[in-house]
Amino acid sequence: MTPSAATPRTDIDVRLITETEFADWNRALNTGFLREPTSSEENLEARRRLCFTPGRSLGAFDGGRCVATFRSFAQELTAVGGAAVPADAITNVSVTPTHRRRGLLTRMMAQDLAAAKERGDVVATLVAAEYPIYGRYGFGPATWSTEWTVDVPRTGLDPRRSHPECGGRVDLVDAEDVRKLGPDLHERLRALQPGAVSRTDVWWKTATGAVRFHPTWNEPFFAVYRSAGGEVEGMVSYAADDTWGDSRQPLNTVRVNWLLAVDPAAERALWRYLCSIDWVVKVKSGWRAPDDLLPFLLPDPRAAAVTTQADWLWVRVLDVVRALEARTYEAAGSLVLEVTDGAGLAGGRYRLRASEDGTGTCATTTDDADLTLDVAELAPLWLGDESAVRLAALGRVREERAGAAREADALLRTSRRPWCPDMF
Ligand SMILES: CC(C)(COP(=O)(O)OP(=O)(O)OC[C@H]1O[C@@H](n2cnc3c(N)ncnc32)[C@H](O)[C@@H]1OP(=O)(O)O)[C@@H](O)C(=O)NCCC(=O)NCCS
């Protein structure tokens, strides 16, 4: 009998890889991501440091050749209210084109999520290459991302003036300063920003060229914003091209790699700095929260045009009780959720009680459900971005009691949207 597309191939071995198998695994990963298959020795070493997690790097092997890759690592995800929950961060997912649609991703995912559940992770996280892949495994799009392209001459900012006012100052710094100052700033941001994730030491090394993950490295510019009191409250990494039009007209574009700010004054100063660099006519913002302040920091917000708007961090709840108890609530109230989970990891009926002080408790219950939803719909509600009323209109949440979706929104939705600044 010929195996159907969905029939798992059990003759292919799915297992943890050893460090000595990394080069073979890396070739499979490059192949799946349509990159040159063989990495140089130097590049392979950098990749080994970044992409090998002992005990959590899976591979699928057919006749001794690696044909699929999957890796997870320990991460923390900031819940609404600022608490960090342990997350199983999934990355480096690839299946070689000769072996696609034979259930290899499904096998690797099942193995990894079972281990995460066993370890006590509250959620699993990933950034999806394509929208249709991960919903079937209980993941839902929990943060979204927007990129703006700012038409600088249209902003209304006066090119004769300098713009980093706000009482503080903007200074250019070197990569070494970023490695010193960046991690603390990011930790402060992470405690304020639902949807943010922890960064490793290697993240900062890669972002500053100390570890060269890609074959080519172009040193970016780095600038910091310090408040009037001298405290570092914002930082940006950006690059510029060198484009000139006819009649010697400067037409340069600045691309923001990342911009972190723990205070609106820092945000304002850094965006205005970027929009006032001589020769620059376009600023590409990089991946920002959909409700980022950027457009409204400009005299003419229409100068900032949305160029990308898409789902970003996908979250899969593994422990409903701990997830719901980790976050804070916008109002007091009580709700019974019937969570279905085909994988058997987080399903059940749960009562959430939110108090006046914003804290919540959660326990399994036999009371009648107010809302029925798949675990994939829970994550976007949990991080505060999605509306239960909207999901009910889409048929993805079922109201068991009239008005329950509206009550869920009053409890769960947040005034600012969650945002994950990182790709991993
Ligand atoms: C995405 C990818 C890992 C899927 O691996 P795979 O082994 O082919 O997936 P499976 O065979 O386990 O598929 C399981 C199910 O998901 C579906 N599916 C898998 N990838 C899909 C995609 N890109 N779009 C839509 N459906 C997809 C399959 O059709 C199958 O559906 P079924 O159960 O209804 O039959 C693989 O196609 C790949 O490597 N793509 C390129 C790299 C990439 O995108 N990696 C993900 C980075 S986040």
Token pair recorded at residue 269? 């100063």
What confidence score (pLDDT) does residue 2 get? 47
Cβ 295 under 6 angstroms from ligand 1: no
248, with CB counted inside 10 A (0-12, 13-18, 19+), is: exposed
* Pairwise CA distance, residues 267 & 235, whole Å: 9
Say how far apart CA 308 and CA 152 lie, in whole Å: 18
Q: List, in sequence order, every residue forming a beta bridge with 141; answer none if it has no partner.
A: 314
Sign of CA dihedral 6, 64, 89, 264: negative
CA distances from 109 to 21, 94, 119, 329 (A): 20, 11, 15, 31
**Residues facing residue 282 across a β-bridge:** 151, 253
Which of these ranges, 70-74, 174-178, 200-204, 415-419, has the smallest mean pLDDT? 200-204
DSSP 38: S
Q: What is the pLDDT of residues 355-386, one digit of tens each?
A: 999 999 999 999 999 999 999 999 999 999 99
Distance 174 CA to ligand 1 centre (A): 42
Expressed in angstroms and rounded, the spacing between residue 281 Cα and the centre of ligand 1 is: 41
- What is the C-alpha to C-alpha distance for residues 282 and 301, in angstroms, rounded to an integer? 14
In the predicted model, what is the mean pLDDT of the chain?
Answer: 95
Residue whose structure tokens are 């995800």: 77
Distance CA 18, CA 7 (A): 27
pLDDT of the residue at 338: 98
For residue 127, give the ligand 1 atom closest to its CA.
48
Nearest residue (CA) to ligand 1, atom 42: 94
What pLDDT score does 6 carry? Answer: 54
Is the C-beta atom of 106 inside 6 A of ligand 1?
Answer: yes
Q: What is the pLDDT of residues 325-343, one digit of tens each?
A: 999 998 999 999 999 999 9
Whether 130 is in the pocket of ligand 1, judged by its Cβ within 6 Å, is yes
Residue 7's pLDDT is: 56
* Alpha carbon nearest to ligand 1 atom 19, residue: 133
128 close to ligand 1 (CB < 6 Angstrom): yes
Q: What is the pTM of this model?
A: 0.95
pLDDT number for residue 268: 95
**8 pLDDT higher than 60:** no
Atom nearest to 5 CA in ligand 1: 35
pLDDT score at 1: 42
- For residues 160 and 364, give the distance between their C-alpha atoms in angstroms, rounded to a whole number: 63
> Measured between alpha carbons, how far is 311 from 125 in angstroms, rounded to an integer?
13
pLDDT score for 164: 59
Query: DSSP secondary structure string, 239-257?
Result: EE---EEGGGEE-EEEEEE
List residues with catalytic annotation: 134, 424
Taking the CB of residue 209, how many other CB atoms lie within 10 A of it?
14
User: Which ligand 1 atom lies nearest to the CA of residue 33?
Assistant: 42
pLDDT by residue (tens digit) across 23-33? 999 999 999 99
Which residue CA neighbors atom 12 of ligand 1 most closely?
A: 103
Please, which pLDDT band fits residue 46 given cuts at 50, 70 and 90?
A: confident
Ligand 1 mean position to 97 CA, how many Å? 10
Task: Give residue 189 CA to ligand 1 midpoint distance, Å.
Answer: 34
Integer Cα distance of 151 and 275 in angstroms? 9
**pLDDT value at position 213?**
78
Report the alpha-carbon distance of residue 8 to residue 3 in Å, rounded. 8
* Number of other CB atoms surrounding residue 189 within 10 Å: 20
Min mean pLDDT across 109-118, 165-174, 223-232 is at: 165-174
